[in-house]
Homo-oligomer: A and B are copies of this chain.
Amino acid sequence: MAEDQGGDVNQGKKTRRRGAALERAILQAAAEELAEVGYSNLTMDAVAARAGTSKNVIYRRWPNRAALSVAAYRQMLPTDPKDTPNAGDLRSDALALLNRANDRLSSPAGKILREILSDIQNDPDRVREIHGQLVNVGVAPWLTILARATARGEVGPEALTPRVASVAVDLLRNEYVINGVTKVPASTIIEIVDQIFLPLVRAHR
């Protein structure tokens, strides 16, 4: 068994890594640093040291700290699909989805994402990179539960737009932007669903 996983530190360093293997080792190291100290405290020196390489090699692959962090963050995502809730009524499904989003956003990974997002506002390339990858994915399950609700006659088909579908998550995200780091309380989740989401989709009928 060769230690082709860049995982643990190769104390002996028999061989000098290159190409893809090295790249994986760097991303792994960067992801670990992100998890341990967060984006704002992540330093290129630390990543290089942890990966057992030098900053030079990193800068040959990513133009700056932000780009490396974005790439590393994408590595550390769960990627398990997590089936869409289907309780039989729209309110339960919406609450489940929104609570799930809240868990994601308040998790360490969520904190990291928000740190990165805020630091790259003036780097359109990076923003687009994260946008398509991370933000949009959340809309699909909402469209699914709305489609089921439509089939049940709970709401009209006019509610099946991305804007309507994403409204709850958008408002939740806004809570984090406005209030800072703390986790959004359950009461706010319920408020968003009962005062905004449900009245809105039922209006489209």
Q: Could you list which residues of chain A lie within 8 angstroms of chain B, going by C-beta atoms?
A: 40, 114-115, 117-124, 127, 131, 135, 161, 163-164, 167, 170-171, 173-174, 177-182, 191-192, 195-196, 199-200, 202-204
Across the interface, do A164 and B196 meet the contact criterion of CB distance under 8 Å?
yes
Return the chain B residue nearest A40 by Cβ: B122
Q: Given the known A-B contacts A161-B195, A167-B196, A200-B199, are A180 and B135 also in contact in the complex, defined by CB atoms under 8 Å?
A: no
- Give CA–CA (A174, B131) in the complex, Å: 12
**Cβ-defined contact, A177 with B180, below 8 A:** no
> What residues on B are CB-neighbors of A192 within 8 Å?
163
Alpha-carbon gap, A120 to B192, bound state (A): 25
The residues of B that contact A180 with a CB separation of less than 8 Å are 120-124, 127
A131 touches B178 (CB 8 A): yes
- Are B122 and A119 closer than 8 Å at their CB atoms? no
